[in-house]
Amino acid sequence: MRTIGLIGGMSWESTAIYYRLANEMVRERLGGLHSARIVMTSVDFAEVEELQASGRWDRAGELLATEAARLEAAGADFLVLCTNTMHKVADAIDVATKIPLLHLGDVTADAVRSAGLDRVALLGTAFTMSQDFYRGRLESHGLEVLVPDEAEQAVVHRVIYDELCRGVVLTDSRRAYVDIVDRLVARGAQGVILGCTEIELLLSPEDLDVPSFPTTRLHVEAAVHQALVGRNRR
């Protein structure tokens, strides 16, 4: 079994889901007392959020690149960055390590295309929704990506940082998200990407009238597959 390197803490709420799902999925596939081989680092999200807010992405990239190198030294065979937004600095991680990064944008795009869809809504942080680093990655796979308008983006972003990253899940916020998705569907979205790992704390497939793509679960499924494909080599 290959060793998964998790770069977590952004936020720890969603990183805990990554860890739990990875172990559950390995147990489901191998049975018995099997669990995932994982090395993990968890950063202080307050430091990362400050760098995000001040636009110091280069410094954020350096920080996560350092953590990635530590995971490589600890024996990770490949890396999983447990956040959508910080894929903005994926290139810095690639440069700092010799092991591959399982890019969340690629995993998500593959799932959307496999479902037969080509026009999807994207919910996430304001950075993820408004900037090209993530949308462009999805579009490079032939997808058309729709995002909320500026006011709606502000709502989605606020709920993520002020509520979900703090473990707060409110019914009113769920209703607001569903209303935003409904408006995106009216604009032609065939499905919706839950493009922030914390959104899965708030929305489930039952809340929506179109297919949803939970990026945390998709990312972990891809990581477990990659870990087990080479399991007989060790």
Mean pLDDT of 94-116: 96
Give per-residue burial for 18-41: e unless 16+ CB within 10 Å, then b: bbebbbebbeeeeeeeeebbbbbb
Chosen CATH of 4-103+218-233 out of 3.40.50.1860, 3.20.20.80, 3.30.1490.100, 3.20.20.70: 3.40.50.1860
Q: Is 83 a catalytic residue?
A: yes
- pLDDT at residue number 230: 60
Percent of the chain with pLDDT over 70: 98
Half-sphere exposure of 58 (CA within 13 A, CB side): 0
CB atoms within 10 A of CB 133: 18
pLDDT in tens, 157-204: 999 999 999 999 999 999 999 999 999 999 999 999 999 989 999 999
Is residue 197 part of the annotated active site? The answer reads no
Instruction: For domain 105-214, give its CATH number from 2.130.10.10, 3.40.50.720, 3.40.50.1860, 3.50.50.60.
Output: 3.40.50.1860
Q: Does pLDDT of 233 surpass 50?
A: no
- Active-site choice (15, 41, 82, 83): 83
What backbone phi and psi angles, to 5 degrees, belong to 12?
-65, -25
Q: Output Rg (C-alpha) for the chain, integer angstroms.
A: 17
Q: Mind listing the pLDDT tens digit for each residue in 150-164?
A: 999 999 999 999 999
Distance in angstroms (rounded) separating the CA atoms of residues 229 and 224: 8
Query: In this predicted structure, what is the pLDDT of residue 197?
Result: 87
CB 177 within 8 Å of CB 159: yes
Catalytic choice (108, 196, 215, 216)? 196
Fold match, 4-103+218-233 / 105-214: yes
Confidence of residue 234 (pLDDT cuts 50, 70, 90): very low
